[in-house]
Homo-oligomer: A and B are copies of this chain.
Amino acid sequence: AEEFRGLSPAEFFYRNREIAGFSNPVRALYQTVRELVENSLDATELYRILPDIHVRISYVSREKNIVKVSVRDNGIGIPLKEVPNVFGKVFYGSKYKLRQSRGVFGLGIKMAVLYAQMTTGSPVLVRTASPKSKNVHEFQILIDITRNEPIVVSYKTMNNTRGWHGTHVELTLEGNWSSARSRIVEYIKRTALIAPYASISFEGPGIELSFPRATKKIPVPPSVGKPHPRGVDIELLKQLIAYVNSSNQAVTLEDFLVKVFDGVGRKTARSFLKWAGYGPAISIDELSIEQLDDLARKMKGYGKWRRPRPLSLSPLGEELLVKGVRKILKPEFVTAITRKPSSYGGYPFVVEVAIAWGGDIPSVDRPLLLRFANKIPLLYDEGVDVSRKVIDGIDWSVYKIKFPAPLAIITHLCSTKIPFKGVGKEAIADVPEVERELEIALRETARRLKRHISRIERQYEVKLR
């Protein structure tokens, strides 16, 4: 007979950690650096703080492949009472909002803590201080895997004598530095490309890299958006109704639509309800499940909603993208495009593309592809990424590009919901709307490159005569 049991989320991800990118000491070291750096960049950028990120990897024991990873930022810090859950509870975080951020799942740092704990037994060491705080809080935390709860091994408070604010995380884990090194370095470089306003210093055994910021211009942070009617389903409606009801007396259907959804004013709400066959004054808690089902279907199908508003997005913009590409790839020619906002399933998104040519770019048999999503560099699983699919579907000879050629393509997708293929955030799924935007952006920048190549050709012909 079968034996039944349930797993806590920590237990599930402990047993299936390869699904989150922690499959072996090479990938795990890479993923650990990623998770910490991505958290640090969110903690600064989302509050318009120019990021200063310090990454240190050092050997604790070379023969046992034990390394210490330390990442320090000047971000907004973590509130004292939130620290234990942030580091010790899987599915806990502050990124469960409709707002562009690197963090999404409330899982990242917990995976790193878990991996360190299972390979060396060491707790994570955290120091954190919020801006203007008199104190720096220092914790050592382990995860109680069976219960998915933090274990606070130690806690102390120190005077914030230097008026510091930010977070400093240290993990000791089994990690294969020599094999992971090149990918980690590439990740840091590409992070500097996509966040040229960030100052990043990286130190590892035998290597020191410094990326001072290329600009002090930092994009306006995204603000938290509202759900869009095109993205509803019955469960979301139920949750939104429960949320609205918890803070108010009887709410009408019209009020509900205006209050809760993105870009729905009185006029739009009323014309929708008229079209859908619902009285505007119906109280939302009187709705039956059949009515919710009907309403969800009609909200998805209604053609006259305003398009999702892009206030919840924070693309890099053409100027900064060109700056970042110039600095890191040192091409002879680069052009960038930031498309107007679009949306899929109610989620707003923006596609940005840059094409770089010549200079320090090596000659390649097919375009070198640097992929980014919400300013995160994606280095694995290119084979199933939508960018690769679109690029391979383009006939580049139409743009005067014959391979081998010194061609690099940079794709950047920004959204309140990146259609990642897995919790390891390595590849983007081929959502049709995103695919279409990528193709338009790629062909536009390719046309500009073609004009540049034609110009070079004409200059060359002039020279020959």
Contact = CB atoms under 8 A, between A and B. Distances in A.
Interface in A38-92: 64, 76, 79, 82, 85-86, 89, 91-92
Given A91-B6, A106-B7, A234 B120 contact: yes
A4 B118 contact: no
Contact of A85 (B4, B145, B289, B419): B4
Given A4-B82, A12-B105, A297-B64, A290 B94 contact: no
B234 A96 contact: no
A383 B117 CA distance: 34
Report copies per complex.
2
A18 B419 contact: yes
A235 B76 contact: no
Q: How big is chain A's contact interface, by range?
A: 35 or more
Interface in A105-133: 105-106, 114, 117-121
A33 to B, nearest CB: 20
A235 B3 contact: no
Interface string A130-142: 0000000000000
Given A16-B423, A381-B384, 9 more contacts: A5-B94, A6-B89, A8-B91, A14-B235, A18-B429, A23-B419, A118-B236, A120-B293, A422-B422
Interface of A: 1-9, 11-12, 14-16, 18-19, 23, 64, 76, 79, 82, 85-86, 89, 91-94, 96-97, 105-106, 114, 117-121, 145-146, 233-236, 239, 289-290, 292-293, 297, 381, 383-384, 419-423, 427, 429
